[in-house]
Structure 1
Amino acid sequence: ALGYGGVEIAQLGDFGTDVATAIAIVAFIPVKDAAISALGKGLGRG
């Protein structure tokens, strides 16, 4: 679904979709935190 292992995930159906979603959420958390931190620093400078 997200590029790597997409074929295997698609074959697993709903379970694979849930796993892919969970992986995406977990992978997104540090990105979100970094973005919030960067925004906070940018606003602090402004």
Structure 2
Amino acid sequence: MIEKEQYEAIAEEIHSDTSPVGIDAKKTHILILQKLIQIEKRLERLENKL
């Protein structure tokens, strides 16, 4: 579960008044991909330790 403070920070970061759905899709996808890359690198480091 995500903490309310973190949730609000993310919501503010991806919010867009000009989008019909209320979020900036490009920015949202970039943030998701960035996080996935971080997870992938972390997993790779852990696997290399085995």
TM-score by length of 2: 0.51
**Partner of residue 30, structure 1:** 34
Equivalent pairs counted in the alignment come to: 39
Structure showing greater radius of gyration is: 1
Q: Could you tell me how far apart the structure 1 residues matched to 2:41 and 2:33 are?
A: 12
RMSD over aligned Cα atoms = 2.6
Q: Secondary structure at the match of 2:41?
A: helix
Give the CA deviation at 1:3.
2.1
TM-score, reference length from structure 1: 0.54
Larger helix share, 1 or 2: 1
Which 5+ residue runs of structure 2 have no aligned equivalent? Answer: 1-9
2:25 maps to which residue?
21
Q: Specify the code of the residue in structure 1 equivalent to 2:29.
A: I
Distance 1:39 1:27 in 2: 18
